[in-house]
């Protein structure tokens, strides 16, 4: 007995996903897109934070209405399980034996207290692959620090780098490490599957999300370690492009503001832009840097008399990087996103329809997309317990009565 198998290059791979919010569930979502069977395990007593973060269907907050939760958990099967209850722990062990991969994001040491960590689970399934994804890893002086990707970005030094040089750091939008970290984890899991297929050996992956995200600062860190200056906040300025910034445009009806981002990378691009501005096209990069304030003022005057679409079209046609500020409505109709089928509409038993993002990687021979919307709370409890573990209705009822399920 088993759940319906997906299609795609990861068909047949079985994953038990105990992670929560964004960083961990994003990994399971990507693998489900490509055919893996993913069981999303949630606590019946502690609501996943992602379930109470918008946007919400019909703008109504609720644990079944979150677009964020729906996006990072599409394609999965849903099970509620209280791991503090012995019956819940027993079910978890049996599902771990069924699984190829277990993903979790508990604070270091929590699963070990329940004897559900890798060292105990590998005794039941020696070839198990397990991903433990936390802010700062399973060991070290800060392994008990828990939090969100915004704290991870702070620990990685990323939070300090976004903002204006004469103001307090603004940090990048949102829990930043929640987004690069899953890409590292996904790569590690695919490598672990390859290793197991070749050797028969299981693998434990100890991912520190903050440390992984520091790889994005590698050039700056190497430069600093070799005697260079420490990277500092610089607003929209760029050391290799000038002009480089965001400029105001004519405000269309119904909009509060309108902006366009422009980046000039080469002298040839500057000569083209200078003709539009009636500026000196012979200025070198260093000269443009020295005259940056004057150039920005002239460019702002030029853009403010035109619509953002007009500026974008004219500059892109001339080979200059430019893009207007996009709204949600703009994104939904963006020709690039439409061409790649980025927004997918899925039938939903509660909402009628829901929208999720499509896969980031398009494979020519094995196209992929989520097979179903994200599960509602405990939606597949009976199906999983009956089909995967072969439990009877009486046994499921006893589990529910013990508090293991709800």
How confident is the model at residue 93, as a pLDDT?
98
pLDDT digits (tens, 9 = 90+) for 185-202: 999 999 999 999 999 999
How confident is the model at residue 274, as a pLDDT?
97
Q: CA angle at residue 97 from 92 to 103, to 5 degrees?
A: 65
Alpha helices in 130-217 (DSSP H): 149-156, 180-199, 209-213
pLDDT interval class at 2 (50, 70, 90): confident
Nearest to 53 by CA among 44, 42, 61: 61
| 149 CA to centre of own chain | 10
Nearest to 372 by CA among 28, 21, 33, 17: 33
What average pLDDT does this structure show over 314-331? 91
List of domains in the chain: 14-216+361-402 (3.40.50.10540), 244-327 (3.30.1540.10)
Say yes or no to pLDDT of 147 above 90.
no
CA distances 100 to 189, 277, 340, Å, are 11, 61, 31
Cα 222 to Cα 324: distance, rounded to the nearest angstrom: 34
Task: Give the relative orientation of helices 393-402 and 86-98 as an angle to the nearest 10 degrees.
Answer: 130
- Answer positive or negative: Cα dihedral of 380, 386, 388, 391: positive
DSSP string for residues in 258-317: -EEEEE--SHHHHHHHHHHHT--TT--HHHHHHTHHHHHHHHHHHHTTSBHHHHHHHHHH
pLDDT interval class at 332 (50, 70, 90): confident
Q: Which residue has the tokens 């099970």?
A: 79
What average pLDDT does this structure show over 73-88? 97
Give 200's contacts (C-beta < 8 A, 6+ positions apart).
127
How confident is the model at residue 146, as a pLDDT?
86
Q: What is the pTM of this model?
A: 0.92
């Amino acid at each position: 007995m088993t759940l319906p198998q997906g299609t795609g290059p990861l068909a047949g791979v079985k994953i038990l996903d105990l992670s929560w919010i964004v960083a961990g569930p994003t990994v399971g979502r990507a693998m489900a897109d490509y055919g893996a069977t993913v069981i999303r395990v949630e606590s019946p007593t502690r609501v996943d934070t992602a379930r109470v973060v918008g946007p919400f269907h019909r703008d109504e907050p609720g644990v079944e209405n979150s677009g964020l939760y729906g996006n990072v958990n599409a394609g999965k099967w849903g099970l509620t399980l209280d791991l503090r209850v012995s019956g819940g722990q027993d079910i978890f062990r049996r599902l771990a034996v069924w699984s190829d991969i277990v993903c979790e994001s508990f604070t270091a040491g929590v699963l070990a207290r329940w004897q559900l960590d890798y060292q105990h689970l590998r005794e039941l399934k020696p070839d198990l692959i397990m991903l433990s994804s936390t802010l700062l890893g399973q060991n070290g002086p800060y392994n008990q620090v828990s939090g969100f990707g915004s704290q991870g970005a702070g620990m990685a030094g990323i939070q300090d780098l976004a903002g204006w040089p004469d103001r307090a750091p603004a940090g990048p939008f949102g829990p930043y490490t929640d987004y690069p970290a899953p890409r590292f984890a996904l790569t590690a899991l695919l490598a672990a599957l390859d290793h197991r297929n070749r050797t028969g050996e299981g693998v434990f992956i100890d991912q520190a999300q903050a440390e992984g995200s520091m790889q994005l600062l590698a050039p700056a860190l190497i430069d600093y370690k070799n005697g260079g200056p420490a990277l500092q906040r610089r607003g929209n300025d760029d050391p290799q492009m000038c002009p480089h910034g965001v400029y105001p445009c004519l405000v269309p009806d119904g909009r509060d503001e309108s902006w366009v981002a422009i980046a000039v990378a080469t002298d040839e691009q500057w000569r083209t832009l200078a003709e539009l501005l009636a500026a000196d096209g012979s200025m070198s990069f260093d000269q443009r840097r020295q005259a940056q304030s004057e150039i920005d003022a002239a460019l702002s005057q030029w853009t403010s008399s035109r619509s953002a679409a007009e500026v974008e079209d004219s500059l892109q046609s001339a080979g200059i990087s430019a893009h207007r500020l996009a709204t949600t409505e703009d994104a939904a109709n963006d020709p690039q996103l439409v061409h790649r089928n980025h927004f997918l509409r899925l039938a939903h038993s509660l909402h009628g329809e829901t929208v999720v993002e499509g896969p980031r990687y398009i494979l020519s021979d094995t196209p992929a997309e989520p097979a179903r919307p994200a599960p509602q709370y405990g939606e597949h409890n009976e199906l999983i317990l009956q089909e995967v573990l072969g439990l009877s209705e009486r046994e499921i009822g006893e589990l529910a009565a013990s508090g293991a399920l709800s």
